[in-house]
Structure 1
Amino acid sequence: MKEIIVIGAGGHSSVIIEIIEAMIDMGQNLKIKGLLDDNEKISQFMGYKILDKIQNARFYNTENTEYIIAIGSNNIRKKISNEFKDLKYFTAIHPTSMVSKSAVIKEGTVVMSKAVINSNSKIGSHVIINTGAVIEHDNKIGDFSHISPQATLCGGVSIGDETHIGANSTIIQYKIVGSKTIIGAGATVINDIESNVFAIGCPAKVKK
């Protein structure tokens, strides 16, 4: 049996806990061992014990233990992952999502309820594919990125590392969005967007 330790005890982690519980309900041999969080005022979260502070993550590592970083910030997920590169990370995929058998999803990523990941797409490590997001065929999504609820990435789209794609946004086919970029909610991307910028609107334009 895999024993899962959830890193973080907040709104995002509550969703991830429920995804793991849904996976257990579907017969997967998993158990939530507890959580790690730096808030000393709480001892439990959603019925699970707060085991320790995040800095002590290695103390709970066993052969059967896997971790998932349940924190919404792309930057913080990367920071924790870099600090604990030796840990094994769990990939949480909600049973109601649709994931192509040819898609590749790396460790630590979460795929939420009713998301779609179609054929030959490659999803990096510690990515969030949020509720109802559509990742069409042949997409490439970099590590530590976040595809928000109901966002649509058409075929052949490439997303860099640590990029945030806002809710209900659309990126048309074969466009490239760089790393550490934010695409605003509801935006429509019809041209490539460079790294380290913020783009909003229909069509999406970079805001200085």
Structure 2
Amino acid sequence: MKRLAILGASGHGKVVADTAECCDWEIIEFFDDAWPHVSSIGGWPVIGTTDDLLGRVSEYDGVLVAIGNNGVRQNKLDQLKASGARLPTLIHPSAVISHYASIGPGTVVFANAVVNAYAMVGEGAILNTGCSVDHDCVLESCVHISPGARLAGTVSVGAGSWIGIGACVRQVIAIGANVVIGAGAAVVCDISDNMIATGVPARAVARA
């Protein structure tokens, strides 16, 4: 039986687990540093902490990190990789992924997301419900594209950046690393590293 460990017992973790069930993972167990105070999430058990999981990665066919904070998710991924964990790519059956696209290990693609031809998505990314990533986009590690966000063709997004719910990014735009794009923003010019950008059109308003 296919056995999956999920690190991070949160609302996001529930959606990861639900998606995993849709992808025929048969046994799903959670780990969270709030254990044993938190012993279950929805209908799934929480059975240990990060350290417990690091000592048991060989027991699982796959391990996913279900933590929304991009920096924390990257740190946990690095620990798991160093421990020899197998990081699957999880794609909801209703997502539409071009066979010319590349999706990295540890990435989760949720329901109704679209990834078009020659897009490249790095490890540990979150492509959330109903988002779209068009042709030739390049998303580096641990990016989060929020529900309903839209990236036009040839957009690049640096490691650890977060594109907010319903945001739109014009074609051939470069978004740096560790950037936060606000909900509903319209990005029509490049955004440099470590910035928060909001509005229509989006402007950098503070450092992230």
TM-score (normalizing by structure 1): 0.93
Amino acid at match of 2:32: D
Matched with 1:60 is: 56
Gaps of 5+ in 1: 25-29
Cα separation, partners in 2 of 1:60 and 1:31, compared to 1, 3 Å: farther
Gaps of 5+ in 2: none
Cα separation, partners in 2 of 1:161 and 1:14, compared to 1, 3 Å: same
Matched with 1:22 is: 22
Matched with 2:156 is: 158
Deviation at 1:182, TM superposition (A): 0.6
The 8 Å contact of residues 184 and 200 in structure 1, kept in 2 or not, is answered as: yes
Distance in 2 of aligned mates of 1:43 and 1:196: 36
**Correspondences of 1:29-178 after superposition (within 5 Å):** 30-39=25-34, 40-62=36-58, 65-85=61-81, 86-178=84-176
The 8 Å contact of residues 4 and 90 in structure 1, kept in 2 or not, is answered as: no
The 8 Å contact of residues 12 and 66 in structure 2, kept in 1 or not, is answered as: yes
Distance in 2 of aligned mates of 1:116 and 1:8: 25
Amino acid at match of 2:132: V
Percent identity among equivalent residues? 33
The answer on 1:8 being equivalent to 2:8 is yes
Amino acid at match of 2:190: D
TM-score (normalizing by structure 2): 0.93
Deviates more, 1:122-131 or 1:63-72: 63-72
The CA deviation string for residues 88-142 of structure 1, in whole angstroms up to 9 with x for no partner, is 1121111111000011001000001100000000000000001100101110001
The ranges of structure 1 where at least 4 consecutive aligned residues each deviate by more than 3 angstroms after the TM superposition are none
Deviation at 1:81, TM superposition (A): 1.2
Distance in 1 of aligned mates of 2:78 and 2:55: 17
The 8 Å contact of residues 17 and 28 in structure 2, kept in 1 or not, is answered as: no
Distance in 2 of aligned mates of 1:2 and 1:139: 32
Distance in 2 of aligned mates of 1:34 and 1:63: 11
Cα separation, partners in 2 of 1:11 and 1:63, compared to 1, 3 Å: closer
Deviates more, 1:93-102 or 1:64-73: 64-73
Question: What's the secondary structure of 1:156's corresponding residue?
Answer: coil
Amino acid at match of 1:51: I
Amino acid at match of 1:47: G
The 8 Å contact of residues 19 and 93 in structure 1, kept in 2 or not, is answered as: yes
Amino acid at match of 2:17: I
The 8 Å contact of residues 149 and 168 in structure 1, kept in 2 or not, is answered as: yes
* Cα RMSD after superposing both structures: 1.3
